[in-house]
Amino acid sequence: MADETPPSPTPASRSAEGASTKRTRRSLMEWGIHLLAALATAMVALPVLGTLLSPIYARSKSENWVTVGASDQFPDGETVKVVFKQVKRDGYMESEHPVTVYVSRQADRYTVFSATCTHLGCAVNWIGAEKKFQCPCHNGAFGPDGKVLYGPPPKPLPQLQARVNGDGQLEVLAI
């Protein structure tokens, strides 16, 4: 009968085995450290990235075209006052604000002026007979093209983007 007892490990083979186990433990620990470092980096980087990208996301979300009426309801060559409601979002809060604009039509071209004076923010009025926007606060005035005629306003009336949609409705890009 042959002796089938496996040969007992020599001190050299035991030492090699121990080194291999140490290497495995070491690589496991290194892997764990790398994982923790990656998680820590992600915890710092993701909020920063979110903050940096949020204006882009907010801008695309806030692009808000508002219908202000049928385009043919605005007489050619005239300027008409329109008030529409704009929804504003502040975090989780939503509120509606009335926005006053003046729509000026020249054939198929629609120009939409903000009614807010560029001096101190009073609401201007369109004086059709004099073809000008008059500000009641400090006697500022703007021409039919929105440019300053006289008074303290430092710049022309702001214009809002406008378009006529496929249904013939005039839409304004609310800011």
Q: Which region, judged by CB under 6 A, interacts with ligand FES, from 64-72, 78-86, 101-109, 133-141?
A: 133-141
Considering the rule CB under 6 A, would residue 152 count as an interface residue with ligand FES? yes
Considering the rule CB under 6 A, would residue 153 count as an interface residue with ligand FES? yes
Residue nearest to ligand FES (CB): 140
Judged by CB under 6 A, the chain residues 67 through 126 that form the site for ligand FES are: 117, 119-120, 122
Q: Which region, judged by CB under 6 A, interacts with ligand FES, from 29-37, 58-66, 85-93, 150-158?
A: 150-158
Closest C-alpha to 130, from 143, 145, 147: 143
> Which CB, 105 or 119, lies closer to ligand FES?
119
Q: In what order do the strands lie in the sheet with 162-164?
A: 64-70, 169-174, 162-164
Q: How far is the CB of 151 from ligand FES (least distance, A)?
A: 5
Considering the rule CB under 6 A, would residue 144 count as an interface residue with ligand FES? no
Residue matched to tokens 């801008």: 59
Q: How far is the CB of 130 from ligand FES (least distance, A)?
A: 16
> Which CB, 98 or 121, lies closer to ligand FES?
121
Distance CA 45, CA 52 (A): 10
| Binding site residues, ligand FES, CB under 6 A | 117, 119-120, 122, 135, 137-138, 140, 151-153
